[in-house]
Amino acid sequence: MKNVILDDRAKLEKLVEEGGLSKAEIARVLEVSYNTVYRWMNRGVKPHPSQSRRLDELFKQNIDMTPLLETLRRGIEDPIRTLKADKTAKGQFLLDMTYNSNAIEGSRMTIRETRQALEGEQVRGRRFFEVLEAVNHKNALFYLLDRIKPGFKIDEEFILKLHSLIMYDFDDKLPGRYRTGYVNLTNTEVRLPSAQMVPVKMKAFLRNINKYGSTPVPVKKIASDHYEFEAIHPFFDGNGRVGRLIMNAQLLARGYPPAVIRVEDQSGYYLALAKGDLGNFKPLSQMLCDAVLRGYRMLYL
């Protein structure tokens, strides 16, 4: 299964064979010479790391990554059992997920400080609530991992419990309860549902979240479900963190490795969610596929 992780040469070949791009077009987009692309593909020369990153972006823009994910999903053992049994991988997931998810929401804690908080050490120079956010997220992840199993069905109790753990001791944020007033988001022009409509919207969301039917590519539905949850924005605070936990519960329950949306991808993540406002979930699906591939590397390579 290691060949599921594509190297730069394989990405170039797919761009030509599946993406319909010529070597000259690839060279023009990457701002390199035709001979440079030729050497990458035919002479075993590796791109500079900065060029490799640009190539990866071009690949994700032009190649549907979901077939790659489905090949991966069919060929691995139960990721839930692997994640729980491998203490190193579990610890890395707890740290990466907590650090990145909180950082996306504005936490200033470094990954080193987050590790200290998760290990119960004193974090110098940080206020109590900053450390509490990290500890709360860890506890929510523990709850998720304790409950999750293949085919696990998400219900309202599960979602409200995740929120109560994420917002523990932040009483003004109504831990474990839907919002009772209006909230405004700065990164979207779409008006959020009123507080009165939140229970109605969540009831419809929960009615459909576990229905995959004959969906051949569950990761696409999981991406659109994530958008829908964030569009409802059912809580005063913690919606992003809870939404990404729900997303990982769905992934693990359907046989995928876990996924961490990185803080360095924050702008792309918000842009992908904004594309969902227009009914276009491909960018979010592609970003999720990329994150699942990193989860695969964490568990199996």
Convert 92-120 into a string of H (helix), E (strand) and C (coil): HHHHHHHHHHHHHCCCCCCHHHHHHHHCC
Residue range 229-283, pLDDT digits in tens = 999 999 999 999 999 999 999 999 999 999 999 999 999 999 999 999 999 999 9
State residue 301's pLDDT score. Answer: 83
What is the pLDDT, as a whole number, of residue 68? 87
Note whether 145 and 83 are within 8 A (CB).
yes
Residues of the chain with CATH 1.10.3290.10: 66-300
What is the tens place of the pLDDT at every residue in 202-211? 999 999 999 9
Q: How confident is the model at residue 102, as a pLDDT? A: 98
Predicted structure pTM score: 0.93
86 pLDDT higher than 50: yes
Return the CA Rg of the chain.
20
pLDDT at 72: 86
Residues of the chain with CATH 1.10.260: 1-63
Which residue in the block uniquely carries the two structure tokens 């605070």? 237
DSSP letters along 118-131, please? HTT---TT--HHHH
pLDDT value at position 2? 47
Is the pLDDT at 216 greater than 90, yes or no? no
Q: Taking each helix axis as running N to C, give the angle between helix 49-62 and helix 282-300, from 0 to 180 degrees, rounded to the nearest 10.
A: 130
Identify the CA nearest to 272 among candidates 60, 73, 71, 101: 60
| Per-residue pLDDT, 187 | 65
Out of 1.20.120, 2.60.450, 1.10.260, 1.10.287, the CATH code matching 1-63 is 1.10.260
Q: What is the architecture of the domain spanning 66-300? A: Orthogonal Bundle (1.10)
Confidence check: pLDDT of 189 > 90: no
